[in-house]
Each structure stands twice: as C-alpha cells, then as structure tokens.
C-alpha cells in the first residue's frame, strides 16, 4: 500500500508550491491506482515509464538517449526498462513497453508503449482529470 509518511511529504511539497489540495488528491488517487495494479512498480520506474510515454512519441527513443535525457545512469534506466518490458533475470516484467529493433541497426533497440501501457496511461489521465474531494 501507500507509504503514509511519503505521501505526507508529497502533500507538504504540493502545498508549499502553492498547489491546491484538489491537485494533491488527484496525484494521491493516481498513485494508489498504480500501486494496486502494479505493486512491484517503484516511483523511479513509474517515472521512467512516463518519460518513455512523453519522449518516445516519435518511436526513436533508445535506453541510452533516455538515460541521458533523465540524467540517470544507463544501468539504472536499462534495469527499469527491463522491468517495464518482459522482465529479466527470472523476474517477470510488467508488459507496459516493448523493445523494438531499430531499423538500420540490428543492435539498437527503441522503446514503444504497449497496449497495456496505453491502458494505464488512459486510466491515469482519467483519474487526473476528475476532481477528488479534499481528504482530512
């Protein structure tokens, strides 16, 4: 489930930045939704997934370019990409993205959001677009 201390810190950051409680509640509901569907998904890997959705629209995003854009070590991004794909080292993947062989270079792989990934993005968009009442 959700770490209440961490969510409390997020709420304080939202309020300190002048972001209303309604926006924080949308964020919280979206976070809870993701954690229910994918309990093994970390905040870092979720951030990588959202970055792939945003930066990979042209279909030419590679893990190395993503690592550079996110200013993260390549090994971290590659491990997260493996988890978002089919998995690695005996660990099941989430099936939210797939690696596609880049045309013209049999070694390079680009990343593409799968139907399952698009479904999650749609669910998050829907959650973030509705108003949630303030919570005590």
The 3-state secondary structure of 7-47, one letter per residue: HHHHHHHHHHCCCCHHHHHHHHHHHHHHHHHCCCCCHHHHH
Residues of the chain with CATH 1.10.10.10: 40-129
Return the CATH number of the domain spanning residue range 40-129. 1.10.10.10
pLDDT at position 133, please?
A: 57
**pLDDT the model gives residue 8:** 76
pLDDT value, residue 1:
45
Residues of the chain with pLDDT under 50: 1
**The whole model's pTM is what?**
0.79
């Amino acid at each position: 489930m959700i770490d209440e201390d961490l969510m409390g810190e997020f709420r304080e950051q939202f309020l300190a930045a002048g972001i209303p409680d309604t926006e924080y509640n949308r964020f919280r509901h979206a976070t809870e939704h993701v954690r229910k569907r994918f309990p093994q998904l970390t905040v870092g890997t979720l951030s990588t997934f959202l970055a792939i959705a945003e930066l990979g629209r042209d279909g030419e995003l590679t893990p190395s370019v993503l690592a550079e854009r996110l200013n993260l070590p390549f090994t971290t991004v590659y491990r997260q990409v493996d988890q978002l794909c089919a998995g690695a080292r005996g660990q099941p993947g989430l099936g939210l993205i797939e690696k596609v062989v880049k045309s013209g270079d049999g070694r390079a792989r680009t990343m593409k959001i799968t139907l399952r990934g698009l479904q999650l993005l749609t669910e998050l968009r829907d959650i973030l677009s509705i108003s949630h009442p303030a919570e005590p």
